[in-house]
Amino acid sequence: MAEGSWYDADIERVIISEEQIRDKTEELAKQVSADHADTDGGLLLVCVLKGAVMFMADFARALGRHGSSSELEFMAVSSYGSGTASSGVVRILKDLDRDIAGRHVVIVEDIVDSGLTLSWLMKYLQSRSPASLEVVALLRKPDAIKVSVPVRYVGFDIPNEFVVGYGLDFSERYRELPYVGVLKPEVYARS
Ligand code: PRP
């Protein structure tokens, strides 16, 4: 087996480094923890699979270090759309395992692109009567927004380019990259 990462040669440039992700996650967790210091019962984190799985794991651990306990829940949704563009029509592939009524819920997202998934998800979760509902998103593409969503905590605003890594995929690959980067055009051409 060759030494080194298999993926570096496929990446045109790194947009957010591993260190930047680590520092930002710590900063966001510190902020969320401070804002919820008086919250009873801890936070209920809702991870939207699959993209948010890396961020969820790191964010929950950072929250714990900053004094907030959390419970971890997972949802999987699929948006009907053509190619990479989502349509806003969302299908639930995996629902929550428990009641969130009266709980302080934080949706953990890897990226807000058009905002359509999150907009739908917020309405869906709001209808289940949480005590509060907020969003933390590691990445946001301001130029791609189609519907405005109240995202209280944002890590990085990034350009409207197709990015992979740290949970984000291209055809289910590149999720395990420790950084967020732009793929080389020849990688698209290959598939
Ligand atoms: C991505 C991402 C968000 C959504 C954002 O998920 O994880 O959930 O798209 O896009 P939007 O703001 O335009 O709605 P995707 O549907 O690619 O599934 P995945 O997380 O399993 O890769």
pLDDT digits (tens, 9 = 90+) for 72-126: 999 999 876 555 556 677 889 999 999 999 999 999 999 999 999 999 999 999 9
The alpha-helical segments, DSSP class H, found in 88-130 are 116-126
9-23, 64-78, 87-101: which has the minimum mean pLDDT?
87-101
The pLDDT, as a whole number, for residue 87 is 65
Sheet containing 180-183: order of strands: 11-16, 180-183, 163-164
| pLDDT score of 181 more than 60 | yes
- The more confident residue out of 82 and 16 is 16
| Protein residue closest via CA to atom 21 of ligand 1 | 50
Does residue 134 have a pLDDT over 90? yes
What is the arithmetic mean of pLDDT over 23-49? Answer: 94
Residue 39: its pLDDT value, please?
85
- The length of the chain is 191
Q: Which residues pair with 164 in a beta bridge?
A: 181
Which parts of 117-176 are beta strand (E)?
A: 132-140, 153-157, 163-164
CA angle, residues 156, 152, 139, in degrees to nearest 5: 25
Q: Residue 29: is its pLDDT beyond 80?
A: yes
> What's the rounded Cα separation, in Å, for the pair 72 and 58?
12
Q: What is the pLDDT of residue 188?
A: 80
Confidence of residue 38 (pLDDT cuts 50, 70, 90): confident
Query: Could you tell me what percent of the chain has a pLDDT over 70?
Result: 94
What per-residue confidence (pLDDT) applies to 9? 93
Residue nearest to atom 3 of ligand 1 (CA): 111
Give residue 1 CA to ligand 1 midpoint distance, Å.
33
Rounded to the nearest angstrom, the distance between the alpha carbon of 121 and the centre of ligand 1 is: 12
The pLDDT value recorded for residue 62 is 98
By annotation, the residues acting in catalysis are 113
Quick one: pLDDT at residue 52?
A: 97
Q: Please name the residue whose Cα sits nearest to atom 20 of ligand 1.
A: 51
At 2 the pLDDT is 60
Tell me the pLDDT of the chain averaged across its residues.
92
